[in-house]
Amino acid sequence: MLNKKLSVKLKLLFFFTTLFFININAQNYIFGKVISEDSAEIQDVTVINIRTDERTLTNRDGHFMVSGRAGDELRLIKAGYERIVKKISKEIIDAPINITLKRETILIPEVEIKQGLTGDLKIDTKNLNRPKKVEKLVKEIDQYIAKKSDPRILAARPGEFVQPKGQGFSIGKVKNKWDDIDLMGYLHSALGDDYFTDLKIEKPQIEHFISYVLAGGFERKSILKYGFCSDADLYRFQRFVLTRISSYRAPQTQR
């Protein structure tokens, strides 16, 4: 009889212990929506659980789902917006949350405007109105006209479309405006170092990683042809990065 009672107590103890561990280790999910300051849904925001390093992207309606628990911190990253870190409380676990991202403030340096040459000799001579200054003005204009422009001034900026040059009508293959090196430089500049370091890519390896992603089949024919990378192309690249990051981190023999 004593052994039977002891056996029942042990079974109950095992049952409650198992129930406790199931409750402790139960998987929770955090649901949320990312919006702008004017309440518009923001697509393709990278959401990272800092504790687990799990990451996901918001869908076209700004919604996301990521596993987590109370006490975790979520980092939200989006080009053109201020990055934020959101602490997860028990209340947030029990109900969806709205997270607002603010656009980055671009500071424009103050420019001091000074009166200079107008390019019109009559006006400039009238403003200067002294013989020595008139001579100086004429000399400066002659030097300006004779001086050749620096080719860097006329060169296209990254991401800017430039009308292809040619001699009349021709039939044949049109040379791409960009190559992969140009595209790598633009992606690095547009996304910034922080985007890649958050992915655990060290700064010296950023361009190597971008090259690895491009080699993985990222479609870029149109980008290279016109020398222009749109916001949609940038978001597409970010999505493609998430499919390649795991294999990049794997040992060489597993790639």
| pLDDT one-digit tens code per residue, 205-255 | 999 999 999 999 999 999 999 999 999 999 999 999 999 998 888 765 454
pLDDT in tens, 174-201: 688 999 999 999 999 999 999 999 999 9
Find, among 133, 114, 132, the residue nearest to 124 by Cα: 133
In angstroms, the Cα distances linking 155 to 69, 73, 217 are 52, 44, 29
C-alpha angle with apex 198: 195 to 199, nearest 5 degrees? 95
Which residue in the block uniquely carries the two structure tokens 């800092």? 50
Q: Which domains does the chain have, with CATH numbers?
A: 23-100 (2.60.40.10), 121-149 (no CATH), 180-248 (no CATH)
User: How far is it, in rounded angstroms, from Cα 231 to Cα 226?
Assistant: 15
Confidence of residue 21 (pLDDT cuts 50, 70, 90): very low
pLDDT classification of 24: cutoffs 50, 70, 90: very low
Is the confidence at residue 5, as pLDDT, over 70?
no
Q: What is the pLDDT of residue 28?
A: 83
What's the predicted TM-score (pTM) here?
0.40
Q: What CA–CA distances, in Å, run from 1 to 6, 8, 11, 15?
A: 9, 11, 16, 21
What local confidence, expressed as pLDDT, does residue 63 receive? 94
Higher pLDDT, 122 or 38: 38
What mean pLDDT is reported for the chain? 77
Cα-Cα-Cα-Cα dihedral sign, residues 221, 222, 225, 228 = negative
The Cα–Cα gap between 61 and 204 comes to 35
Q: What is the pLDDT of residues 78-116, one digit of tens each?
A: 999 999 999 988 877 778 889 999 998 765 555 555 555
